């Protein structure tokens, strides 16, 4: 099993946009082969800092996701919202 924690910091004005993107894609990601768990965490003091916390059956499953159209389309919408 692979545990993956991804930290993302967004421009404050883009927080709601990111939450909307995540809301629209979370069930598709959870249904992706090999995904055992996915959740979104938000910083308590830095509200523009988020973490995705996910469990994967294998490194191969994670790599398959990272090369999928689902990842590419979600990333294309998410990346421009980053602060850094």
Q: Return the residue matching tokens 């069930």.
A: 27
Q: pLDDT per residue over 18-77, tens digit each? A: 999 999 999 999 999 999 999 999 999 999 999 999 999 999 999 999 999 999 999 999
| Residue 13 confidence class, pLDDT cut points 50, 70, 90 | very high
Answer whether 51's CB lies under 8 Å from 6's CB.
yes
Question: Model's pTM, two decimal places?
Answer: 0.91
Compute the distance between CA of residue 83 and CA of residue 59 in angstroms, rounded to an integer: 28
- How far is residue 12's CA from residue 5's CA, in Å, rounded to a whole number? 21
């Amino acid at each position: 099993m692979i545990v993956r924690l991804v930290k993302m910091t967004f421009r404050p004005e883009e927080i709601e946009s990111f939450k909307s993107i995540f809301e629209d894609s979370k069930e598709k990601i959870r249904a992706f082969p090999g995904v055992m768990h996915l959740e979104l965490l938000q910083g308590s003091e830095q509200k523009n800092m988020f973490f995705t916390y996910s469990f994967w059956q294998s490194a191969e499953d994670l790599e398959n996701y990272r090369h999928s159209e689902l990842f590419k389309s979600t990333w294309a919408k998410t990346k421009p919202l980053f602060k850094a």
